[in-house]
Structure 1
Amino acid sequence: MSGEQGAMAGPGASASRRGGDPRAVLEEVRDAIPLRSGAGDDAVGGVVPALVAAPPDAAAVAKLLAVSARHGLTVVARGNGTKLDWGRPPRRCDLLVDTGALNRIEHASGDLVVRAEAGAGLAELDAVLARAGQRLVVDPVVPGSSLGGVVATGLSGPRRALYGPLRDLIIGMTVVRADGVTVRSGGAVVKNVAGYDLGKLHTGAFGTLGLITSVTLRLHPVPSAARHVWARTTDPATARGWILALLDSQTVPSAVEVDWPVEGPIWVQVLLEGAEDGIAARARDVADLLEGAEAAEEAPPGWGVLPGRAGDTLLKLTCAPPDLVAAVQTLRTATERAGVPVAVRGSAGAGVVHAAVPADADPVAVHGAVSAARAALPRGWLTVPRAGADLLAAGLDPWGEVPGLPLMRAVKDRFDPRNLLSPGRFVDGI
């Protein structure tokens, strides 16, 4: 069974395949929810939606999805639109739901908890929390991202090495199902996490299981001091030795990053955070582990953001931290043989890095390089979160072989049996 056929199976599949009439939704909700026709700049992976809705609150989202479901319309959510070209293009997009008006933030500073709506920008959220000396330890890997967009794509930055990935910071979530039913999970304080863990299911699911309206997250105090320490080497074995030494040390880094450009040396970068009276000694201990180390309060260039430029093909390589350097070497060998330049940057401490391939690279060569790297990786998982239309047309599977695919499909069928939410954007056409 092909991915598309599998995704379409289940109750209501024939209605979803035929598609509904967006004009019917327009007539039912136009008085309560702003609606307009889709335009080119609303496109999701090149697919222009028939309608764009901007619900003012979560109740309006629920009403909108209930009406859309009755008419068999497919729905895709949009926050700030920074990652609409990630994943596969949807097979159809009848309705794009703009969550920009869902931007309320409720900060329970005494509990170190925040509840924020999906449309809240990470920058705005950080500013609110900073006034109380607190922070959400989620680095803005893609500047301008909304909270909902970060959760939907599962993005975590450098400090995941110490604090864990984004999904581990989520203690509650409110989601609207494809049929318009609102579902809540978790609680308002860290100790109250009763209920089914929707957070982990929806994090990284690309909006295929429900439309996230709010997320409750645990916070951490802003440390009083921070130091960046880094060193450069042209020898991958030296870089690996540094990374392992750092992870085995007592310096407790918040992040251990690797920045491996197309040309030039490999950068191993360390972030230390904590009390002012101990930060200098910890920085010296880190410097002792690295040859020719430099240190500063400010981050080195490129810290915490994805490599490459907007529109570049973006790869994601995940493996155990001790295997990371070897995995990156495998990827770079495959791309060099294909004549494709690649720049790598990400978390050596967590074993998750991204690689950028120029947007104008030959799609057949890129497809061959990704396939060769996947076949040669002894351990790890290589995906392509952002791929252009030419690369997809060349036959690239953005996700590759995915363990647990039958379970993932069963979850999709349970949450969205008619395949109305972001159809086809996720693994194997889910």
Structure 2
Amino acid sequence: MRSKKKPMKNQYLRSGALALSLLVAGCAQFVEEPAGGTVISYPVALLGADHPAAARCADYECKEDDALDTEGCIGARDCLDLALRDFSTEYPGERGKQRRNEIQKRLMDMSIRRCGLYKEHLRQAGKDLLRQVDVDADFPPGVLMTVSGDAGAIVTAEDIVRARVEPGCTAGDVRPELKEAYLANLAIRVITGGIDSRRKEIEQEIDARRERDPTNYTVQAAIGDAIRHHGACTVMADLAQAGDAIRKWEDPGLEVMDKPHPQGTSEVDRLSKDSPTCSESLLVAELFLDNQDIGDRLEKYLKRQSAELKIDGNSGNFAVAKELDAIAEKTTAEGKPYLSEIQSKYDAYVKGLRAKATENAHLETEIRTRQRSRQPAPGDDWELKRIKRESRDWLTRHEKIEVEISRILHAAGDPIATVDSIKAIENLYRSLLEAIPSISM
């Protein structure tokens, strides 16, 4: 079918070349196509706007839900074949190599941004699920919703220890709801880890091929590699890549926790009797170490987003990129860089918190040792309640800080960000500073 001139659109990647080559299942199954952004229209991306076929082929439209045997899809596919055939003539030698690499890189850059949204969607879906588990199972506030580090951990083994039936680190079974939540977390980490690992392998292969002459590495092959790179952003690819890696994560896992020792106790029970490291206070304090380089991480993220926008070549995106560079260097009214202030305040808070947590952990161990020996001291129960209350307060604080960090990352990575929305990140800096206590403990 014929239609008036429109840029071709595909749900999976906004690229006519990819749309007509393959319908790639991937990120867009979970995240809707963001408005705006760079559209690589066929055949301009391959031949340039001055090519005789550009105007004629722009009349064809092949949408994601169109049958491949419609007139629009047939015509568009023929145009793609024409463009690929003429590419070597229009762009010979070194010029063709440069143009081929530019096209491939633009496709991959779009895929990287889309895949980032996909992974964030997975994490958010996991959080929504665990919120409901938290409510249904009547866990203490925030236990399941503690987010740990870049790997997207939602529930760690420490969370399971912390949520045992008996208070503190005494013997007791892990709740089945929390075991399920832990497994959900492992699944998310396997998926996101598999995405990054597999796509990195493909990127390394592509980097090596980009040095080849166009006759040895054609534009068709380059586009095919870009499709393969995007196709790695799927659940099945992630699981295939991860394999049995689920047992290799830094968390000890359910088997270790339940594994019996010769003495007839589980690993967790053994730790609870012999060491203050099982104390909830220290476990909570360790969560804060995930953001010990918070300033550097935010700065690198902002600058990476800026670099990706500059590649697009869109004037609007370039303005947003410049604002991202500026916000990364933004200073307070006192002339101090916001990110440095955030880092300094966070470091001071965590230093004091860890010292207090260590003190609480040793005190808790002493109290529980006395209780097992049936020699309690006056005030022991009150101290245990205080330690528990402080740990819960720290968990709540950790969650607030994570929320503020996420708001900054979301604003900077928004595919339809504007100059004004990036400028507003300064307010998010202030909110993050306010979320970090200014006094050490």
- As a proportion of its length, which structure holds more strand? 1
The higher relative CO (CA closer than 8 Å, separation ≥ 6) is in 1
Q: TM-score, normalised by structure 1?
A: 0.26
Q: TM-score, normalised by structure 2?
A: 0.25
